[in-house]
Amino acid sequence: MARRPLIAGNWKMHLTVPEAERLATAVVASCADLPDREVMIAPPFTALAAVAEVVRNTPVLIAGQNAAWEKQGAFTGEISPVMLREVGASMVIIGHSERRHIFGESNQMVNRRLRGALQFGLIPVLCVGETLADREEGKAMPILEQQVREGLAEVDAEAAARVVIAYEPVWAIGTGRTATGAQAQEAHAFIRNVLARVYEKKLADEIRILYGGSVKPENIDSLMAEPDIDGALVGGAALQSESFDRIVHFL
Ligand code: PGA
C-alpha cells in the first residue's frame, strides 16, 4: 500500500498577515507541479483565514498548530477544532514538542486534543519524540511507545486511519542537528511496529509517519529515501520560500 508523501510546514509563532500571504502565494506556486505528494502549511492563528484565502482551490492544505477538544466554551487562550475548520483548516498539529515541553502538555492532554480533532473532522498530526536525555539513557523507544499508545488511547482503527504521526526528536528541533536517515528510520519502523501491535499491520502500513527536526534542502532527499519516512514536518526551513520549494521537490 503506497503512502502518499506529505510535506508540512510549521510556521510556529512567525510572520505577520501580509508576510504569511506572501509565503503562502509562493508555496502555491511551488506545488503547481506536484501531483504525487501533499503539501500542508500551518500558519499562526492570526494568519489562518488570510492564508486559507490564498490557497483556496489549490492542492495546498491548511493546518492549525494546536486545537482544544471542545466545540466552544470557557477555554481562554484556546482555539476550537470547529473554528479551525470554519476558516479553512483541514488538519491540525497536536502534541508538538514545544507544546509538551514549554507549555507542559501531557500525553493525556494530547490525547484529548487528538480525539477532539478527529471528532470534529480535522486530520491530526500527532507529534512524538524523545529528549536528548531519554536517548542517552537508552529510553528513546519506550518513550516513543508510550507517547504513541497514550496519544492514541480510545481511538478506534477507523479513526486512527486518518491520523498522521510526526517523529520529531526534541534534540533535533531548531538545533541544526538532524537525526541521520538511519536513526530516523529506526524510530519510524519502531513506531510503525507499535501501531501494528495497537491496531493491525495493514493499518500500520497505511499510516503516514513524518520526520521533523532540522529538515533542510540538504538532508530531505536522504531522509525521504528511507522506507518508513513518509514526509517531513519542517519548521525553520519552511519560512523561506526557496528552501521550502526545494524540500517539497524532494527527489
Ligand atoms: P525545525 O522545526 O525544522 O526548525 O527543527 C521542526 C518542528 O518543530 O516541527
Q: What is the pLDDT of residues 218-232, one digit of tens each?
A: 999 999 999 999 999
Quick check: is 168 catalytic?
yes
Which H or E element spans position 27? Answer: helix 17-30
Q: Which of 96, 98, 130, 226 is catalytic?
A: 96
Quick check: is 96 catalytic?
yes
Q: What is the pLDDT of residues 162-217, one digit of tens each?
A: 999 999 999 988 888 888 999 999 999 999 999 999 999 999 999 999 999 999 99
Architecture of the domain defined by 6-248: Alpha-Beta Barrel (3.20)
73 lines ligand 1 (CB under 6 A): no
Give the pLDDT score at 178. 84
What pTM value is reported for the model? 0.97
Q: What is the pLDDT of residues 61-91, one digit of tens each?
A: 999 999 999 999 999 999 999 999 999 999 9
Q: Of 35, 27, 15, 90, whose CA–CA distance to 54 is shortest?
A: 27
For 138-147, letters b (16+ CB in 10 Å) and e give eebbebbbeb
Q: Which residue is closest in CA terms to ligand 1's atom 1?
A: 235
Q: Which residue is closest in CA terms to ligand 1's atom 6?
A: 235
Give the pLDDT score at 1. 58
Q: What is the pLDDT of residues 103-133, one digit of tens each?
A: 999 999 999 999 999 999 999 999 999 999 9
